[in-house]
Every structure is written in structure tokens, then in C-alpha cells.
Amino acid sequence: MMADPEAAESLPMPSDSAPSAKSPRHWCDWRGWGERVFLVILIIFFVAKGFIPAWNYLNSDFPNYYLIARLYREGYPLERVYEWTWLQRQKDHRGIEQPLVSFIPSTLPSALVVTPWCSLPPLQAKRWWLMANLAFLGLIALLLKRMTKLGWTRIALLMFLAVIPLHNSFLFGQMHILVLLLLTVAAWLYFKEWHFLSGLPLALAAAIKIYPALFLIFFGFRKQWRAVTGLAVGLITAATGSVYFFGTAACRLYVREILPRAFRGETIDPYSVAWNSITALLRRLLIAEPELNPAPVAHAPGLYALLHALIHSLIFVVFMWAISSRAEDHSTKKLEWATYLFLLLLLSSQPGSYHFVVLILAAVLIIDYLTARQLTVQASLVVILYALICGPLNRLPHPLRATGWSNLLFFPRLAFMLLLGGVLLWVLTSPSPASLAARLNLRACLFAGSALVALVVAGFISNAQHLKGQFDNYQSRLVTIPDSLMESEPAITSGGVLFTGMESGGYGVRELHSRTLTDIPRRGSNWFHPAAVEQESGGWAEQSSPDGSRIVRFLFDDLAQNPAAMRVEMENAEQPAVSPDGELLAFVREVKGRGGLWVRQLGMGGESMQSRQEHQLAGPDYDVREATFAPDNRVVFSSRSQGRFALYVSGKAGKVEEMGGTNCSARYPAISRDGQWMAYSCEQGGSWQLHAMNLRTKEEWQLTKAECNSISPTWMADSKRLIYATDCGRGLGLTALAEIEVSH
């Protein structure tokens, strides 16, 4: 009689052979039934807690991809999708019911994936994407079955043991299940000895999420040059396609400004314990930030730079030595592929829980390798640690209590990953004492040691250079709001400073007066870009909605009596700027994402006069970004032309001329109250730095130098000090407000 095939699919199990006297048939049956029951429980949990809520609600991430896909289909230039407030405005104009959107640090090709459904309403488009993800899971299971000797039940159990990654991937509408499919296809081709072809799906995966491109290192260490060639050809093709579809400006911006900060873990909140990474832990322990991490063990950037380089380099060298020093044979290919994939996750600076769906591929390949060799202890440890990594225990106490050394308690997933890494090194280095001794020869040790020293030195120098000057603004911060992710776009009023602030429900305008914060009532809309006149109490702001953007006027005295008191100044208008005498209002009107500059006289009152009192200074062909007034009411604005930004000035007669003296790509102009100085930001090496210029002599000063962004300056009344927005020491584009003195 043949053995029951399902009885051989328990987890973890010593072998698939027929039952012996020590393992009676009825025990195998009970074990098999137990596994099936457990699998059903996991599937029910996934459907109830993951798929059904995902089907009914948009949640956080899918609207980001959907919005970019719509902008692309509608013909918008995409170089602005990494600007937080601009993208939020586009979301509002399309009526997408999502409090906050962001596309940092996603790649532009990742949005093309949902382009087939972007003409549908957002929730309906997400449902199609969810169905596609179910199909991806089926294809992944089929490929895993073909690559291994595991049965269907084992494969399904290992897939659904990734309970939280799968749950969050579906709930948020993420791209990582598609990435897992492409990685699985690449592995299947690689194990079939089709090495060149295996690089192509890896390149597609890298176009969506960058890290699969790092398989170039794996193939190089294994001297699989056909695979290196295939991946390189695929990456070049993907890069060329990105330039073709999205344009040179958007791709250049991603490579110069987004990608370097993403590799360093400086997107969104780099101090969040939710990342559970080595980089995040070291930041929590050794780098202070007044709002996001006020209580580390010590503020020691130099020690952080050293430990970050040392720990990452040591882990990388040890794992690559363990992988590359083995004699290549078909039986170990799967283990090495799985281990390298695990290594990429372990070294990732900001891995979300949904990133760990790709650990399914690694887990299946590792368990298949171990069970084929009846390594029961190792298989059991791998399954237990895999379940803990992918389970709900990814953090312990509430993150607000993570201070000092107690931060160590908030990184359980990282601890489980390190333990699993130890088990994998044990498996890689213990086939036989002879083989391990042979690998520990002088030549191998010298090579590994030299590589380690080189990586640590290069990493330390790079980290130290990157961190240099990033913390100089801490002592001059204008306001410190605990856990605040963004304060930006400052404007000086008679009583204090207006600025845009990010909240959990969107963006609003706040006033800082005598260290007291006051929120301007949002009334459910997002408010951006406040403008003010020093001699008046109140201001102007942009209010965005599904009907478009409009500029509203508010007075603090009126708001104190009636929180809803405000007046619509202009419809179909964005980014207000007001002349110092309060007579003129400059604003931007977009046409397909490209801004034209308009000016309207204020205080004329009648609705019928509105169209006659406004005129256009610069058309959408200028692609105007920001504008400001000089004391004589000339308008200075930034414009993008031929891949760079330049500053222009327009007089009352409407003649537009490029300003001289700026030899960089320049944005964010601001003219001092006395008319003698101009502040602006220059793009240098992928970062935006503050500059000041004497408008009479054209003499120029660089005010900031750190590898981070300092933007949106505004002058204080004395024409000697600037308030500006900076993301130094913070996440990319998530700025705080600081003050700096301009030395004349």
C-alpha cells in the first residue's frame, strides 16, 4: 500500500520516508491533519484580517501608486511627485479619500504596474490589484513546488506563516508580492542553469524595488558572468525605459536626490522603531533629533558612523565568505540564493513589514535543503525564527517609551533576524570539519580581512562626510513639536510666524507667536503655503479640495470670534505671495502640472472686477515653482528650463528677464525687507543649500553646506536673519524650521 502523500508535509519534519516503528502511521496522519487545520486557521486569519479589509478600504500605500499612474496617464510631468505638498494637492484635486500621500522613496516604474486600472475609481482599481496579487501567489506556489521536493501543504504553510507581511501587503496594496514573484521566477531560471535569463526578472524587480539589483554582487562572487550580463542588460534596459517614459528630469532627480538618502535610511522617519533595522537602532541610540529622537543614549554621530560601517561590513563579509567559499554544486545553489536574499533584508535600512513577503522564497528553499538532509534541529529553528520574524510580535511596548537603552527592547524582529542569520551561518559552514578547515586558509582569511577593512574605512568616511554639519541647526530651531514630521513654508506676520504643518489627518497652517502655537481651522481641507504682511494680523493660504485649489484670507481677530471666518480671495489659484505693501497678490495656476504666474490687485472687492484685475506674468511654459515680491513690487520667481532651475524677475510692465549672478540650479527666492539681499537655494550634489546674494554687487555667500536640504527661506524684519525649512538630521523633505544669521 502506498503511503499517504499528505502525511509527508508536516513542519518541521525529519524526512519524507515511510513511517518506522518509532513513527507510527497514525502519528503521521495526526501530524498531517494538524498541519492542515493550522493552515486553514492561517488562511482564515489572512482572509478576515487582511483580504476583506483590503477589499473594503484604500488604506495607506495603494493610493500613492494609483495617483502617480493617473498623473502619468493624464500627461503630467512626474519630476514633482517626490514633493510632499505638491503630491498632496494632486490627491485632493482628484478626490482620493486618503489623509496623506507620499511617493518617497518609490521608483517611477513601480507606478506603471497599476496603470491598467488607473482610469477606474481608486477602490475599484485596488480590488483589481488584489485579484492580481492572488494570482501572483498562485504562480509563486506553483514555481516553489517545481523547485523543491516539498508538498503543497508545506509550501502553503510556509507561505501563510508570513502572516503579517502578507496581511500588510494586501491591506496596503503594496508591490512586494509582485517582487516576490519576479524573484521566484529568477531563482527558477537560475536553478535551471538559464543564468542569462535569470537576470532579466531580477532587473524588472529592481525597477520596482531597488534591492534586487544587488544580486550583481552575488553573481559576481559566484563567478556567474552570464547572470551578471543578463542582470546588467536588464538594468540598462529598465533605466533606458524609465528615461523614455518619465523623462530625463524625473530620472535624474531620483538618482541624485532620492536614491542616496534612501540607501542611508533617511526617508520618512529615520528614527522610527517600526523599521526594526540595524540602521534605525543605531540612530535611536546614537543620534539625537529634537522632535523625532530627543532622548538617545548619547548624541555621538562619529560613533554612529563607525559602528554603522563596522556592523554592516562585518555581516556582509562573513555571509559572503560563507556563500562564496563553498564549492559550487546544484544541491547548495538554493541555500546560497536563499541566504543572500535573507542578507539583503537583514542589511536593509528601512524594511517595512511587507518587505518580508520575499522571505517566503528564502524560507521554502532553506527548509527544502534541510529536510532533504534530515537536519531536523536546524529546520525546526529556521521555522520557529521565520514564524517569529513574520508574526505579530514585531515590536514590544509602545514606541513613545523608547528612550535611551530601552530602545533595545523595541527591536524584536531585528533580534530574530540576527538569530536566523546565525542559524544560516551554522548551516553554511558545517557540512564537514574538513571542508570548514579548508575554507579557513590563509589566502581566504587575508582576502576577507582586507575586504572588511576596506569596507569599514570607506563606510566610515562616507558616513562621517554625510553627517558633517547636519546637526548644526539644532540650537537654532524655531519651534520643537514632539513627534512632528514636518514644518515648512514659513511666512512672517505682525505677531509671529505662519507655517505649514503636517498632521495625521493632512496639512494645516499654524502660527507661532511668543512660543505659543495656534492652529488655523482646516475645516476638513488641506492648507498649504501661508503668506502674510508684517503690518497686518492675519494672512493668506492655499486651500485644496476636489474642486481645485483656492486662496483664502483669514484674520486672527475674526477667527477668535468665529473659527470659520475667512474670505475666498481667488479661485483656481495656488501658492500665494503678497507684496510688502499688501496691494498685490501673486499666485500660480497649473496647466497639466506646469505652473504659470499670475498677479492680482488686492482690496478691489467686487466679484465682477476680479477677472479684470488679474494678469499673467509668465505662462505654463516657464513651469513656475515659487514666487516672491521685492519691496518695489517686482516679482521674482523660479522656473525650470532644460533640466535646471533659474530665477527670473518681472516688472510691472510684464517684461520677464533672467536674474544674473546665480550659477547654479536655483529655487525658493526671498528678497529682504530693505531690498538689498536675496536668499535662495542652490542644488549641489543632490542637496539644496541656502545662499544669499547682495543684489547691488552680486556678491554671493553659501550659508549651509551639509548633505541635506535647506529650502524656503524668508527674511526677518531686520533683513539680517532668515527663517528656513531644513530636513538635516531628519527624513527626506520632512523639514523643521530653523533660523540663521546672514553675515553681510
- Per-domain boundaries in the chain: 1-217+226-257, 264-467, 475-537+554-560+621-741
CA distance 497 to 511: 6
Q: Provide the pairing of β-strand 567-571 with 548-554.
A: antiparallel
* The Cα angle at residue 252 between residues 246 and 257, in degrees rounded to 5: 120
Angle between helices 25-46 and 163-172 (to 10 degrees): 30
716 class by beta-carbon count within 10 Å (0-12 exposed, 13-18 middle, 19+ buried): middle
- In 3-state terms, what secondary structure has residue 330? helix
> What pLDDT was estimated at residue 536?
75
> What pLDDT was estimated at residue 649?
93
> What pLDDT was estimated at residue 12?
41
CB 335 within 8 A of CB 319: no
DSSP 48: I
CA distance 215 to 206: 10
pLDDT tens, position by position, 208-221: 999 999 999 999 98
Cα distances (Å, whole numbers) of residue 61 to 48, 95, 211, 391, 545: 20, 16, 19, 21, 20
- In 3-state terms, what secondary structure has residue 326? coil
> What pLDDT was estimated at residue 538?
82
20 class by beta-carbon count within 10 Å (0-12 exposed, 13-18 middle, 19+ buried): exposed
- Residue 641 phi/psi, 5° resolution? -145, 130
CA distance 557 to 233: 64
CA distance 470 to 480: 17
Peptide bond into 105 cis (omega under 30): yes
Which parts of the chain sit beneath pLDDT 70?
A: 1-29, 325-330, 393-400, 431-441, 557-564, 603-612, 652-653, 744
CA distance 743 to 162: 57
> What pLDDT was estimated at residue 327?
58
239 class by beta-carbon count within 10 Å (0-12 exposed, 13-18 middle, 19+ buried): middle
CB 206 within 8 A of CB 194: no
Cell numbers found for residue 172: 496596503
Contacts of 53 by beta carbon, 8 Å cutoff, 6+ apart: 59, 171
Cα distances (Å, whole numbers) of residue 555 to 420, 515, 566: 60, 20, 7
Q: Tell me which H or E stretch contains 628.
A: strand 624-629
CB 659 within 8 A of CB 639: no
Q: Tell me which H or E stretch contains 492.
A: strand 487-492
Bridge partners (DSSP) of residue 571 are 550
